[in-house]
């Protein structure tokens, strides 16, 4: 679903947002002058991001690329600021400790509440990053990946439901089955806090 519109439209500059976020105990995203609180993620969501991040990290150990998870922000040329689930930065000059501006790879794990944002608003903003080579969307409850790769004149789209997930920007090829197999019997996202299935 798209983001809910704030009851009162009060635009905030990106500088004001970054100052606010630096002292906030909760995480927020920023787009179009608006600040949006981030919802918590399920264990399954976190494990899926972690398993892929670990595979990338092990493969990138000698490359100088850094694999970052959801506590580090990315800022796009449009001014939007997000916390990607997984981000790889290979540019040694992109050395701010909390904000990155030249990632090579961004991965988002889809949730029911964010899939429209990840496929829409975020993707439109991520495309403006000149350094970005690959954008990956991982389905949480179904073994499926959507991959956008930068190509001459645009982006190449691939949907994968089995077999190798190829990430040439980090010189990695890993079977999708291997990533999802490590989730074990973790409950899907539509399970409520008391353990029952959400309706």
Q: Given a cut of 70, is residue 193 above it in pLDDT? A: no
Q: Is the pLDDT of residue 178 over 60?
A: yes
Sorting pLDDT into bands at 50, 70 and 90, what band is 121? Answer: very high
* pLDDT grade for 93, boundaries at 50, 70 and 90: very high
Model pTM score: 0.88
Spatial neighbors of 138 by CB under 8 A, at least 6 apart, are 48, 49, 52, 107, 108, 109, 110, 144, 145, 179
Enumerate the β-bridge partners of residue 82. 74
The average pLDDT across 171-176 equals 92
Of residues 73 and 112, the one with the higher pLDDT is: 73
Domain parsing of the chain, residue ranges: 41-181
pLDDT at 198: 39
- Mean pLDDT computed over 149-174: 93
Question: Which DSSP string do the residues of 99-143 spell out, in sequence order?
Answer: EES--SEEEEE--TTTHHHHHTHHHHHHTT-TT--EEEEE-SSSS
The mean pLDDT value for 171-198 works out to 70
Higher pLDDT, 105 or 60: 105
- Please give the Cα distance from 109 to 139 (Å, whole number): 6
pLDDT in tens, 18-77: 999 999 999 999 999 999 998 888 889 999 999 999 999 998 888 889 999 989 999 999
Count, in order, helices (H) and strands (E) of the chain: 5, 13
- Give the pLDDT confidence score for residue 84 in this predicted structure: 97
Note the pLDDT of residue 156: 95
Q: Which fold has domain 41-181?
A: tt1808, chain A (3.90.1570)
């Amino acid at each position: 679903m798209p983001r809910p519109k704030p009851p009162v439209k009060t635009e905030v500059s990106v500088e004001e947002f970054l100052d606010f976020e630096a002292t906030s105990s909760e995480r927020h995203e920023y787009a179009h002058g608006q600040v949006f609180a981030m919802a918590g993620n399920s264990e399954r969501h976190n494990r899926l991001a972690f398993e892929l991040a670990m595979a990338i990290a092990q493969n990138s150990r000698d490359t100088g690329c850094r694999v970052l998870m959801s506590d580090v922000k990315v800022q796009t040329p449009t001014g939007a600021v997000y916390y990607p689930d997984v981000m790889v930065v290979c540019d040694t000059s992109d050395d701010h400790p909390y904000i990155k501006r030249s990632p090579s790879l961004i991965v988002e794990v889809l949730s029911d509440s964010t899939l429209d944002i990840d496929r829409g608003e975020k993707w439109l903003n991520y495309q403006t990053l000149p350094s970005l080579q690959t954008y990956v969307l991982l389905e949480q409850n179904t073994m499926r990946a959507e991959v956008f790769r930068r190509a001459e004149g645009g982006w190449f789209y691939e949907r994968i439901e089995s077999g190798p997930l190829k990430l040439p920007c980090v010189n990695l090829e890993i079977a999708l089955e291997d990533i999802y197999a490590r989730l074990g019997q973790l409950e899907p996202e539509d399970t409520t806090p008391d353990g029952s299935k959400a309706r």
